[in-house]
Structure 1
């Protein structure tokens, strides 16, 4: 299979910055899908379905592309989902609930050949063990980074690393939102090896709205 142009189906600057690390040119477009969980849907099923849905939503307008979709779902051990908090108060609640707990992050990934409909899907599991956090620590952290657009209310690539006692999983990039190891495997499955591509600019992404 000959490599096609890449499209990242996401409005997230975090996913865009992660994909840039592979050194491949790609475009960016934002899909619009309903992200509500279905009845009796597990976190893994939800993350995988949303990743595939994002890729498929853009397929009609990008028929010559390979489309990358990704979505992340975080949950406590009791099954409670942790979404993007959106504001300070909800972020305080989330970190208070997560304090001293093991939080599981399920990051769904899909690579869709929009022309043929062929698709690869995967769900990357990663676990974050939170320290027992004091109210002052939670307040200080949230005021410092304001991670209100991040599932779980933290940014592991910043000061958020201080919230944890242990991280468990094969790819820490999945915590940020895009499992690069799994994506590299998918691309290589279809004949595109990032290690064998000509060197290009550090940032080759181009944001496109159609």
Structure 2
């Protein structure tokens, strides 16, 4: 079991995107991967899945760092009740884009904070993502250019993926990249973490 001070903040991820986002808040933190099973429970609603996985990640890392504040996050992309996960291959990425093109899907980002005293706080942020109509050659060209093979939904909105969209409707654009910083700050405030700095 690792030891940490009660002022330690740990982000339960190895995602470079989430790490870079959290750095914007100017808080000292460490990052530690949470190795969990991210499979969907049958018939699980997309928002429920995102919230469950965010909390599971926070709890898993808190087992190793019980004296820290541990922040978990998870993102689910859903078209109605269909969930789109990381494609891993170019072919699957193209197939995902063709399923999403010309439609509006939801991008749900959930966060969970586990405190040293075992309290758990949670929040979520949802965006409506309106994707432009795409031809298969356009989808292939995008996948080749941006290589979004480890991005749910097969797009990197912080890179060239922005051109795939007509609109993105929500209230914290950092949620699209993977970590809604307004919600993170609010949870840390609610938990009393900011008073300890």
Shorter-chain TM-score bucket reads: over 0.9
Which of residues 14, 20, 23 is equivalent to 2:23? Answer: 20
Residue aligning to 1:204: none
For 1:112-131, list aligned pairs within 5 A.
112-113=114-115, 115-131=116-132
Greater relative contact order (Cα < 8 A, sep 6+)? 1
SS in 1 for 2:30: strand
Q: Distance in 2 between matches of 1:38 and 1:145?
A: 30
SS in 2 for 1:33: coil
Q: Distance in 2 between matches of 1:53 and 1:110?
A: 9
Specify every segment of 5 or more residues in structure 2 that has no aligned partner in the other structure, as ranges. Answer: 1-5
* Cα offset, 1:138, TM superposition: 0.9
* Cα offset, 1:192, TM superposition: 4.1
Residue aligning to 1:206: none
SS in 2 for 1:152: helix
Residue aligning to 1:145: 146
* Cα offset, 1:47, TM superposition: 0.3
Whether 2:10 is the aligned partner of 1:7: answer yes
Which ranges of 4 or more aligned residues in structure 1 deviate by more than 6 Å? none
Q: Distance in 1 between matches of 2:145 and 2:160?
A: 8
Q: Distance in 2 between matches of 1:143 and 1:40?
A: 33
Q: Distance in 2 between matches of 1:193 and 1:172?
A: 23
Deviations 1:161-195 (A, max 9, x none): 0000010000111111111111111112123449x
SS in 2 for 1:175: helix
Deviations 1:65-95 (A, max 9, x none): 1000001111113x21110000100000000
How many residues in Structure 1 have an aligned counterpart in Structure 2?
191
Residue aligning to 1:76: 79
Residue aligning to 1:53: 56
Residue aligning to 1:88: 90
